[in-house]
Amino acid sequence: MKKPARPSRPRSSSAKTTPPGPLFFNREIAWIDFNRRVLALARNPAIPLLERVRFLTIVSSNLDEFYEIRVAGLIGQVESGVTEKTPDGRTPRATLDAVVEAARALVKDQYRCWSEHLVPALRREKIFLKSREQLTRADLARLEPVFERDILPVLTPLAVDDSHPFPQLMNKGLYILVLLGDAEGDADATPRLAIVPVPRILPRVWKVDAGDSRESGSFTFLGYIIKSFVGHLFPGESVLGAWAFRITRNSDLYIDEDEGGNLLKKIEEEIRNLRKGDPVRLEISSGAPAEVVESLLRYLGLDAEHVFRVDGPVNLLRLDALLDLLRRPDLGYKPFTPAAHEHLFAPEHIFEHIAEADRLLHHPYDSFNPVSDFIRQAANDPRVFAIKQTLYRTAADSPIVEALREAALNGKQVTVLVELKARFDELNNISRAKRLEEAGVHVVYGLVGLKTHCKCCLIVRREADGLRRYAHLGTGNYNHRTAKVYTDLSLLTADPDITGEVADLFNLLTGSARKPRFSHLLVAPFNLHAGILERIRRETANALAGKPAYIVAKVNALIDVEVINALYAASRAGVRIDLIVRGVCALVPGKPGLSDNIRVRSILGRYLEHSRIFLFRNADGEPDLLAGSADWMTRNFVRRIECVFPVRDPAARNRIVNEILSTLLADNRGAWELLPDGTYRPVPRDEASRRHPLCAQEKFMRLATKAATVALRRMDEPGPGAAHGKPTENPLP
């Protein structure tokens, strides 16, 4: 595999002293830094305008989850008096202070991006987003009958006084806080508060001007309309002011599985309780008077440090409603059609093609249809006896769920492990589990204390020479919708070594084997952590012995201390290490005497980088090439069922090493480089890279389109992977 040139660094394995400065970056601050990189996409004029708006909504969605889970946890630790320090040396109190400061700066920059970059850019395209102050008399005259007809009937004002207890506010619901005075203008009358819940059933963005054009025009937010006419809800009262707000609550699901009982019922009950979770953040319009905000905080029992005053629409996530209203394909990414695999065009022959050779799919560049076809064909194939499947996150209209139901109705033995604790998908997964059980599927919920995160499907089929197993192993979920926007790998295989151990994995999940043994798969929490550490240490030993040593890892997050320390030791021994970490990275790269030989990059773009790939040079044998469901986080190693699998087929190995990893490591347009001080910068571009700019995701789309064209001409030619080139004998440097 060709790697971008970089200066060679001296080995420093003899160094004994610890270099000055931090050895680990803070996980929470690194998460905010990741979202700053997403925000940079929203500011990037080279990206289509409506996609920039979408990136802005993604930052808001991410920040919501961050507060619901991570910040809520920090607040709980502080209130409980926890003083244990994180690997970067911070107490929970110090971490919380740093997080609040960083989050406040991020939100400020979000709204600056909206008002100073996106709103003017939309205006140039004749798309006008009007604030409450920008609505003209003519606009209000046009909107008032709309308000009275379509909005007012579903609003319910809630008084806040001695005879009306403070209402229970929904997590992330939008509300209008109203300050009321005496209609007669009595200066001595005490102003009163009222709250108007904004029903989620109402659209969040409304057309202001006449006509039904979806290409241009004036729009405004529902909150601004309600504030403009909120007096209609309080006849005989004087409205002194009205401000939009919402609260975020602790949404971390706590289930004590050791107590016994029905897990499904426990989760349903706990989700109901989450509606009453402790508030952890208040977002409110910037114009709200201090005394009004203080009153609201007293009712909520929330500290002032968690108030975010925003200068613009509360909850920028709701800008997605604008994207739904507009029909401007010229302002979005050009449509891309995923390629169909040349050997998987015909679903009726899918088992024959998998039996010939392993088939690798690189989503979303390769279509997800063969994965759905794999299960759908099994459901209707009379020679298939059994199907076993894990489900973590699936779409509401999942063809895979329907295929599993159909298989059970066809009399096949179908076992599905549904992970009920997939965060924010708990109720969806409960609903799907019940639907599967109604069709006769044997549904199980995994092992006590462990979240089942692996992505596996096993099919048992009778063939001429007896029963044969087929498996799908992936890095992403069985979700045909996210497969269009997440980059993931799928491996379809009939390799008996692999499928035999996938069968053992399912026996573990359904039968709770105490001491499972895996020789080919790395399965958490049993042998995955040790297997990764063993491979890093092998590269370390090879470097010390003067042999070639090289590691490439692509993950979503890297925070496990043992793995980081092993990588530091490898770097000091002279191992060259390339890490592609999309999100949180606690490892400090490029630190003299510690991580001189480690480079960390983060790639962001049109698609969410989600695949996990691991490459170890292994100078004394075949290079180790692995992929799977696990990030390098402690939770993935010890609190989840994860599956990392070897890629053994020559064509598949060639494609991953010489096409996928090589391209990702050469990206000079969508890649960011992590510096020793914890900041990120776009990967520097020299004269050569300026002449030949490379965006990995764009290249993969071009390759997929070319492969599909070639495959159409060569469908009759033998040899897997023909559309992606012949395997090379020595793919590593």
Tokens of 299: 């009712």
φ/ψ region of 126 (left if φ > 0, alpha if ψ in -120 to 50, else beta) reads left
CA dist list (Å): 602 to 82, 155, 477, 580, 660:
33, 45, 22, 6, 15
What does the alpha-carbon distance between residue 681 and residue 628 come to, in Å, rounded to a whole number? 29
Helix axes 92-112, 27-43, angle to 10 degrees: 0
- The two structure tokens encoding residue 534: 């063993």
Q: Residue 453 catalytic?
A: yes
Rounded CA separation 671/681 (Å): 9
Q: At what angle do helices 426-438 and 399-409 cross, to 10 degrees?
A: 20
Cα torsion angle, 245, 249, 251, 255, sign = negative
Distances (CA, A) of 127 to 123, 217, 219, 322, 560: 5, 5, 8, 10, 47
- The dihedral sign for the CA sequence 60, 63, 67, 68: positive
β-bridge pairing 413-418 and 384-391: parallel
Whether 713 contacts 669, CB under 8 Å: no
Residues shown for the chain: 733
DSSP assignment of 671-721: EEEE-TTS-EEEPP--HHHHHS---HHHHHHHHHHHHHHHHHHHTTS-STT
Catalytic residue among 306, 343, 353, 453: 453
Could you tell me if 643 and 505 are in contact, meaning their C-beta atoms sit under 8 angstroms apart? yes
Residues 608, 584, 20, CA angle at the centre, nearest 5°? 150
CA 29 to chain centre: 17
The token pair that represents 498 in the structure block: 């692999």
Distances (CA, A) of 420 to 75, 182, 207, 431, 433: 26, 52, 40, 10, 9
User: Residue 572 in contact with residue 22, Cβ under 8 Å?
Assistant: no
Residues 365, 703: Cα–Cα separation, whole Å: 8
The 3-state DSSP composition of the chain as helix, strand, coil percent (nearest 5) reads: 40, 20, 40
* Euclidean distance between CA atoms 24 and 26, whole angstroms: 7
Cα atoms in the 13 Å half-sphere on the side-chain side of 616: 22
β-strands 576-581, 598-603 pairing: parallel
Nearest to 413 by CA among 390, 384, 438: 384
Of 386, 339, 379, which Cα lies nearest the Cα of 359?
Answer: 339
Q: Tokens 């604030």 — which residue?
A: 131
* Contacts with 271 (C-beta within 8 Å, 6 or more apart), sequence order: 253, 426, 427
In angstroms, the CA 595 to CA 602 distance is 17
Please name the residues in contact with 531: beta carbons below 8 A apart, sequence gap of 6 or more: 522, 644
Contact 680, 674 (CB under 8 A): yes
Q: Which sequence positions are flagged as catalytic?
A: 453
